[in-house]
Structure 1
C-alpha cells in the first residue's frame, strides 16, 4: 500500500554512480587547487574548504505549459548572457556576523549556479530534469537549514527537490529539501524565494538563526489584503461567495453568500478581481474561455498531469454532451428520451452526427484543433459513455425496492438516512411561518409491511428508518414549482428486515398550501406491484431520488467537503509555516482543493452554471446550501459522532471502534470506521512525537493563531457558536486534525467517486422532475395505464439536462493519472524525522489490511447490502485505485 509518486530516485540512477566514484578524486583535486590559490593570493590561507555536490530536480515551463518552446529558447538565451539560476544556503548553526539587524540570521553561503542548463535537453513530454550544482563549502555554514534561490531566467519553473550529498559536519550524509513549488523570475519577487530543509520544528524549537526567515515567509503568504493578485503571487486570503451572479443580467442576479446571518457560508480564496460597476458588492466574473486564469495561489493550481487530464476528459465529455444536443435539433421530440432504449444509446455505440450544414457550421466555429480531431464529419458516432455499474449486470435491478433502499446505505449518498425515533415524524420548521408540517403518515399506512410488528414495537426494536428531505426543501418548494421544475418535499420510511436489508414502506409527498402558513398538503404512497398503483409508487420513489440527488450534490458533496475545507487550506498556509509539523501533516490533504473550487465557482455553481441547469434547485441551489450550513458543526463531522447523531450507531465499549451499528451491514459505516480508526491512529502517532504535553500545544503561537483565524475568519459566520472545540491539549490537536483529514479524504471519496457508477444512468438518479403526480380523470392519469415507462421519462430530467449531468459526473468520478491516495506521499523524504516516517509506514500497512478486509466482506453473500440486486460491490472506501472510472479509491484531498 505504501508508495510514493516522486521520480527523483529514477533521476538519480543515471548520475549517482559516476558521482560517487569521482567524489573523492574531485575533492582532493579541489582542495589542492584551493590551497595553492590561497598561498599564491595570500587570502584565507590555511582555512579549510571543500566542495559539496547537489542535485536539483525540476520541471521546465516548456514541459508543463503545453510545450512552450518560446520559454525554452528565451531561458537558454538568458543563460548565454550570464543570467542564471543560483542557490545560496542559509546556516542553521552559524550566525551572519555582518548583519546589522537586531535579529541574528544564519550565515549565507556563496551563490552556486545550476550547471548545464543549456546542454540538458528536456523532451517535449512531461518529465523531470536533473541538474547538478557545486558549492564551495564554507565550514562556517555548518548545517544548512534553508536556501535562497534566484531565478534570472525569462520563465518560471517547478522546483521539486534539492539534495545535498556528503555534507561536512552532517556525517557526510544527505540533506534533503522538498520544495514542490513554482519559482518565477526574480523580478516578480521582493525577496528571493526561500525553501527550508525537511526538518519539522515547532515555532519555539526553530533554530534561532532561521526564525526571521520563517516569520518573513508567513508575512508574504498572508499578504496585506489589498491590491491585484497576479499568477506569480503566493497570497492566501479570504473572500465571500460574491462572484456567482451577474447584477447586469436580471436572470443571473444572485445574493452574496457568506458574511450575513441570512446567508452564512464558509469563506473562499480571495481573487482580487474588481467589483462590478452596477453592484460594488459583487465581484466581476471571468468568461468560460478565461476560467483557467482565475486566481488561486500558484502552488495550489493543478499539477501538469492533472491539468492535461482534466482538460482531456473535459473536452471528450463536453463533446459527448454538445453533439447529442445538436442531433436533438433534428429529432421530432427534441428534448425527450422517447424510450429506455434511447437512454441505452448513450452506452451502446454512441450518438450519430447529423449530416449537412448544421454540422459544417459547428465545425467552422470550433477553433481548437484538438476539438476538430475528435469530431468526425462522416456520420460516425463519438466514443460512447462507459456503461454505469448500476446497469452493467442487470438492466432493471435499479428499479427494485431493494436497490432503492440499499443505495441509502451503500450508494453515492449514504450519509442522510437516520433512525426514526418518533412516529409520525415531526417537523422542526417554524409553525408560525409554515404552519403544521408534521407528517401525515399513520400506522395503517405501514403496519402491513412490518412483518407482523406494530409500529411501537418496530420503533422500540430500532427497525424503522427515515430518509427525510422534507424540512430542507419545503421552504423552497413553492418557488421551485413556479419554474419548469416540479418537486415535492419528501419523507421516506423504511423497515429493517431480518436479513439485514431495508425495504421502503411509505413515501410522503408534500406541497405547501397557497398560503404557506396553512401547512402542508400531503399524499402518502405505499408499495404496490400491479396496475396504476405500482406506477404511482415508482414515481414516488423517483421524486425521492430527485430530492436525494440534489441534497447529495449541494450538501453532502459540495458544502460538506469542498466548501467547508477551503478555509482550512487558506488558514494553514497563512499561519502554519512549512516547517510546522501540523502543516506537514495536513498539506497533502489540501492538494488542488482551492483550484477545483475556483473552477466550480466559474462553471458549476455559478448563476446559469451546470448545477443550476441540471438540478431541480435551479437558481436557489447555493442559497439552499447556505441555509443548511447554519446547522454545520465541525466536531459533528467526526464519523463516530455523526453516526450516533443519526441514530445509526450507539456507543458500546465492547464493540469494534467503540460503536455498535444499528444496521450491522451498513457498508459506508463499516468501512468508514476502519478508515477513521486508521487515520486517527496515524495522527496520534504523528502528533505525540512533536507534542509531549498540553503546555507545548498552548504555547505554540502558530497553532493558536491558526485555530483562532479558522473560527473567526474562515468560518466566521459561525464564530460565536459554542461548539467550536478548543486547541489546548494534545488530544484537541489529534481530534481536530483527524476530522480535517477525514473530510478531505474518505468522506469526499465516499460521496464523489460513486457518482458515475450510480448516477451515470439517469433513471436511477434523476436530477430534476418536470411534472407532479397526475390527478385522476385527467389525460395524464390515463397515460399511467397505457405507457408507464414513458410517463417516467417525461417526468424526470429531459435529454439535454441528463446528458449535461452525465458529462459533469463523468469528469468528477474519474481519477487522474497523478492522483495521490491515502497512505501515499508525493516524495519519500517528506520529513527528516524517522519516527513519523515509521508511523506513516504503519499507516500504509494498515490501509492495505483494510483493503483486503473489504474484498473479503464483498465476497460474503450474507452481507446483502454490500452487493445488492445490481451486483455492485461496495468499494467507495477501498483506499487505492487505478486511473479512470473505477468506483473506488480514497485520494488524499478534495482534488476533483
Structure 2
C-alpha cells in the first residue's frame, strides 16, 4: 500500500476511552437520611442500586447513554481563525464496563469512542455536557488509550457535573499535564483563561447550588437579628476594629433589620466541588454533626433537666459514669432518639438503654493523674493546645494593653512567690538560663471580662509561671487571677496570686486556680488555635487558588489536597458551631463574644510566624543553632509537640522544595508567573485584606519565598490542625480535665462557698466548672470532631493515586515524602517508649501520638489528614 493511500486510511481514526463516574444517589447521604429514618429511605436506596452487577449495569446504561456527551479538544493544533485548540466531534457514552479492576466502590465505568483525525494533534482537554433531567453526577476520570503518537492520556476530574442548562459555558476538564502559564500550549491558553474566568464569576447575585464560583465575603452571617434582637452579632472582617480572614461569598439577601448582615438559611452555598458528597462517609459525618446540634443536643438537655432533675454532677465519679454506666433512659425517650444516627454509637446494646460515651484516653489508665501539677504543666507542651506557652523574658510579666483604657496590668507575681519552689535558683538566674516559662491568658481576655462576668459565667484573666526542672518536666510555681476593678477598667485589675499546695483546703484552692487557667486555655484553643488559626485562615487560600491558579498550574496541584472539605466544614461551623447561640457560644466561657474576641487576636496574626520553626523562635522556646537538627535547639528538650512537629515540618519542606525547584528553574520564573502573582496579590489584598498593609507578607519574588509560603500553608492545614483537633475528646472528653466554663469566683475565706470547698472539694469544683447540660453538649460534639472518617486522606496520600500529574520526577519525590513520613512515625513510636522522656506519657500514661502521620478510622488520637476536613 502506498504511503498516500495509507495516509488516507489513517486519517480517520477512533480513539477509545473509559469514563468513570458515580451517580448522585450513591453519594448524597444528606438527602438519604433527611427523614431521620433508620429504615425506609436507606432501604429504598439499596433497592435502587441493587447488589447484582447486572442490575447496576442495566440501570446505569439506560440512565446515561445518550444523556452525557463529550468533545475532545486539541492541545497541539489550533483553529486557524481563533487560535483555540480544535474541538472534535460530539460523542456519547457507550456501554457500561463492569469488570474494570481499578473501579472504586459504587463507581460506574463507560466505554466511549471519539472520532479523532490525525490532523487534530494530541488531545489536552475535553468538554462534557449532561442532559439528565434534574440529575447531577460525580465525574471521576476519563482515560484515553492508544492516542496516535502519544499513548495513554489521563484526565483526573473529581467534579460534579449538572445539567448543561445550568451552565453559561461548557464544563471543561484538562489532561493531567502540568504547565506554568508561560509554558501552556498555545491552543489551550484560551481554555485555561476562560475556565478561571468562570470560577471567579462577576461578584453579583445569590449563588446557586450547581455553581462553581469562588468569591469573598466578610463574616456577616453569624447572627440572626431577624429572628431575635438578642441574636445580633457584629460583622467580623472588613474593618480595622474587627479584622478577619474572608469566607466564601454566598450572596444571600441582607437581613431585614440589619442591612450589613446576611440573612440565614438552613443551606449555605458552596462551590459545588467543595461540598461533602464525593464519598459516603464524609457526608455521613456532616449529617451526624447536624443531627447532633439540631436534634440530639436539645433532647439531651430536656432529658437532664426534665426527666432526671439533676442539672449538676456531684462527684468526679458521676462524671465518669458517663463512660462506665451511662445515663439510663426511659423507654419512650429511647424510642424517640434511637433512629438518630449519632445515638446508635452512644447507646449501649445490652438492653440497659443507657446513653454512654467512650472513655477519654486521659483517664483510661489512671482516674486522678490529671489532677497532678506535672500533668497540668505537661499538657501545655503535649496536650491539645501545645503551642501557647512562652519563655519568660522579663519579670514581672507586663501587658500590652492600653494603660489609659485598662490601667496598669503589670503582673503582681513577685520573686517571693516563686523562689521558694525554685531549688535555690533566683528569678534572674532562671531567666538567664531559660528555666522560666509562662502560659499567659491575660491580655486577650481582660478587656472582655466585665462583659463576660455580667452573665452567668464568672472568670479571671490568668497568668501561670512555670519552672523547667532538671528532669525535663515543668513545675507550676504560681497562678495569677485578675478581675476588673470595681471602680472601672482604667483602675487596672484586682489580682491575686495562688501558690501550689498539696494538703487541706489550700490544695482545693490550688485545684480551682488551675481550673480557671484551663478554662481560659480551652476557650483560646477552640476559638483561636483551632478555629481561627487553622479553619478560618486557610479559607482565603482555597478561594484565591481556585480563582487564579489553573488546575494545570503546578502550585494548584501541590496545594489541592490540603483544601479538601475545608470550605464545607467552615460553612457548617457558621451554621451550627460558631453562630449566635451555637454550640461554641452556648458551652464556652467567651459566649456571645467568642468570634469578636478571636477577631481581636487576629490583629496580631502573622502568616510568616505560623510555620513551626518561626513559631518556636517567636515564643522563645527554641533558639537558632546551625549545629542542631533543623537549625534549632529546643530550650525544653522534651517538648513532644515541638520535637515531633519539627520532623513533620522538615519532611514537608523537603518535599515542597523538590517540587517547586522542578517547575521553577529560577527566581525570575516566579516573578514572571502571571497566575501565581495574581493569586498572591489577591490573597494578601482581599482574602486577608484587613492585614494587607502588614510588612511581613512575602513579596513572592523568589523560589525561597514560594517554598516557605507553601510549606507554611501545608503545615497549618495538616499537622497544626491535627495537633489541635484530634486530641479534643481524648483530653477534653473528661470535662474536669479541660472545663470550658467557670461559673463562680474563687471562694473567699469565711464565705459559704469556702466552707463548701473545705467540706466537699469535688462538689465545689463541679459547681464552678462546666455544668452537666453543657458537658453533654461538649462531649457529643467533640467526639464527632475528634473522629477520622473512613475516607480520610492523610499526609503523603492523594485521592488521585499516581495520576495527579504526568511528570515522573514530582511523583517520585512525593513517594519519597510518603516513605519519609512512615519512617518518622516509627521514630515517634520509639520516642514514646523512651522512659527518660517524662513528658511523652506523663502521669496519665497517655503517649503523645497526635503527630503520628497515619491513622485508622474513628477516635484514634493520632493521624495527620492532608486538610482541615473536620
Structure 2 length as normaliser, TM-score? 0.93
2:39 — aligned with what? none
Alignment pair present for 1:574 and 2:547: yes
Alignment pair present for 1:542 and 2:515: yes
2:90 — aligned with what? 111
Alignment pair present for 1:425 and 2:388: no
SS at match of 1:307: helix
Q: Please tell me whether the aligned partners of residues 327 and 354 of structure 1 are also in contact (alpha carbons under 8 angstroms).
A: no
**2: CA distance between counterparts of 1:538 and 1:347?**
23
Name the CA shift for 1:566/1:81 in 2 (closer, same or farther; >3 Å).
Answer: closer
Name the CA shift for 1:347/1:456 in 2 (closer, same or farther; >3 Å).
Answer: same
Name the CA shift for 1:323/1:396 in 2 (closer, same or farther; >3 Å).
Answer: farther
Superposition deviation, residue 340 in structure 1: 1.4
Alignment pair present for 1:403 and 2:375: yes
**1: CA distance between counterparts of 2:257 and 2:306?**
41
Which of residues 255, 274, 282 in structure 2 aligns to 1:307? Answer: 282
**1: CA distance between counterparts of 2:785 and 2:793?**
16
Alignment pair present for 1:297 and 2:280: no
Q: Please tell me whether the aligned partners of residues 60 and 108 of structure 2 are also in contact (alpha carbons under 8 angstroms).
A: no
- What is the aligned residue count? 841
1:846 — aligned with what? 820
Alignment pair present for 1:720 and 2:693: yes
Q: Name stretches of at least 5 consecutive residues in structure 1 with no aligned partner.
A: 1-31
1:163 — aligned with what? 143
**2: CA distance between counterparts of 1:272 and 1:165?**
43
Q: Please tell me whether the aligned partners of residues 470 and 490 of structure 1 are also in contact (alpha carbons under 8 angstroms).
A: yes
Q: How does 1:201-600 map to 2 (within 5 A)?
A: 201-248=179-226, 249-286=228-265, 290=266, 293-302=267-276, 303-311=278-286, 313-314=288-289, 321=297, 324-330=300-306, 333-355=309-331, 380-382=352-354, 384-514=356-486, 515-600=488-573
Name the CA shift for 1:218/1:369 in 2 (closer, same or farther; >3 Å).
Answer: closer
Superposition deviation, residue 332 in structure 1: 6.2
Superposition deviation, residue 723 in structure 1: 1.2
1:871 — aligned with what? 845
Superposition deviation, residue 380 in structure 1: 3.2
Alignment pair present for 1:54 and 2:17: yes
Which of residues 622, 629, 633 in structure 2 aligns to 1:660? Answer: 633
SS at match of 2:824: helix
**2: CA distance between counterparts of 1:574 and 1:231?**
18
Name the CA shift for 1:647/1:82 in 2 (closer, same or farther; >3 Å).
Answer: closer
2:42 — aligned with what? none
Superposition deviation, residue 331 in structure 1: 5.9
SS at match of 2:212: coil
Bigger Cα displacement from structure 2, 245-254 vs 830-839: 245-254
SS at match of 2:659: helix
Q: Please tell me whether the aligned partners of residues 245 and 687 of structure 2 are also in contact (alpha carbons under 8 angstroms).
A: yes
Superposition deviation, residue 402 in structure 1: 0.4
**1: CA distance between counterparts of 2:505 and 2:825?**
46
SS at match of 2:160: strand
Q: Please tell me whether the aligned partners of residues 320 and 382 of structure 1 are also in contact (alpha carbons under 8 angstroms).
A: no
Q: Please tell me whether the aligned partners of residues 136 and 162 of structure 2 are also in contact (alpha carbons under 8 angstroms).
A: yes
**2: CA distance between counterparts of 1:464 and 1:752?**
28
Q: Please tell me whether the aligned partners of residues 78 and 153 of structure 1 are also in contact (alpha carbons under 8 angstroms).
A: no
1:25 — aligned with what? none
Q: Name stretches of at least 5 consecutive residues in structure 2 with no aligned partner.
A: 33-44, 50-54
Superposition deviation, residue 209 in structure 1: 0.2
1:177 — aligned with what? 155
Superposition deviation, residue 322 in structure 1: 5.1
Which of residues 803, 811, 819 in structure 2 aligns to 1:829? Answer: 803
Superposition deviation, residue 82 in structure 1: 7.2
Cα deviation, 1:242-289, whole Å, max 9, x if unaligned, reads: 000122312111100000111100000001111111111110111xxx
Q: Please tell me whether the aligned partners of residues 221 and 261 of structure 2 are also in contact (alpha carbons under 8 angstroms).
A: yes
1:20 — aligned with what? none
Name the CA shift for 1:369/1:842 in 2 (closer, same or farther; >3 Å).
Answer: closer
Superposition deviation, residue 126 in structure 1: 5.3
**2: CA distance between counterparts of 1:656 and 1:298?**
44
Name the CA shift for 1:380/1:79 in 2 (closer, same or farther; >3 Å).
Answer: same
**1: CA distance between counterparts of 2:621 and 2:425?**
21
Q: Please tell me whether the aligned partners of residues 65 and 95 of structure 2 are also in contact (alpha carbons under 8 angstroms).
A: no
**2: CA distance between counterparts of 1:119 and 1:710?**
45
Which of residues 143, 148, 170 in structure 2 aligns to 1:192? Answer: 170
Superposition deviation, residue 608 in structure 1: 0.3
**1: CA distance between counterparts of 2:809 and 2:603?**
41
Q: How does 1:803-822 map to 2 (within 5 A)?
A: 803-822=776-795
Q: Please tell me whether the aligned partners of residues 309 and 817 of structure 1 are also in contact (alpha carbons under 8 angstroms).
A: no
Structure 1 length as normaliser, TM-score? 0.90
Bigger Cα displacement from structure 2, 184-193 vs 639-648: 184-193
2:854 — aligned with what? 880
2:76 — aligned with what? 93
Superposition deviation, residue 62 in structure 1: 2.1
Cα deviation, 1:445-470, whole Å, max 9, x if unaligned, reads: 11111011111111111100000001
SS at match of 1:483: coil
Cα deviation, 1:333-383, whole Å, max 9, x if unaligned, reads: 531012212111211132211356x778x56xx997997999899983246
Cα deviation, 1:207-228, whole Å, max 9, x if unaligned, reads: 0000000000000000000112
Cα deviation, 1:420-447, whole Å, max 9, x if unaligned, reads: 0111111111110000100000011111
Bigger Cα displacement from structure 2, 742-751 vs 62-71: 62-71
1:790 — aligned with what? 763
1:643 — aligned with what? 616
Q: Please tell me whether the aligned partners of residues 488 and 510 of structure 1 are also in contact (alpha carbons under 8 angstroms).
A: yes
RMSD in angstroms over aligned alpha carbons? Answer: 2.7
Superposition deviation, residue 119 in structure 1: 9.4
Superposition deviation, residue 396 in structure 1: 0.3
Cα deviation, 1:58-113, whole Å, max 9, x if unaligned, reads: 1111211233989999x96995897421211111111224xx43xx0111122222
1:149 — aligned with what? 128
**2: CA distance between counterparts of 1:567 and 1:373?**
35
SS at match of 1:209: helix
SS at match of 2:145: strand
**1: CA distance between counterparts of 2:68 and 2:767?**
64
SS at match of 2:116: strand
**2: CA distance between counterparts of 1:561 and 1:772?**
32
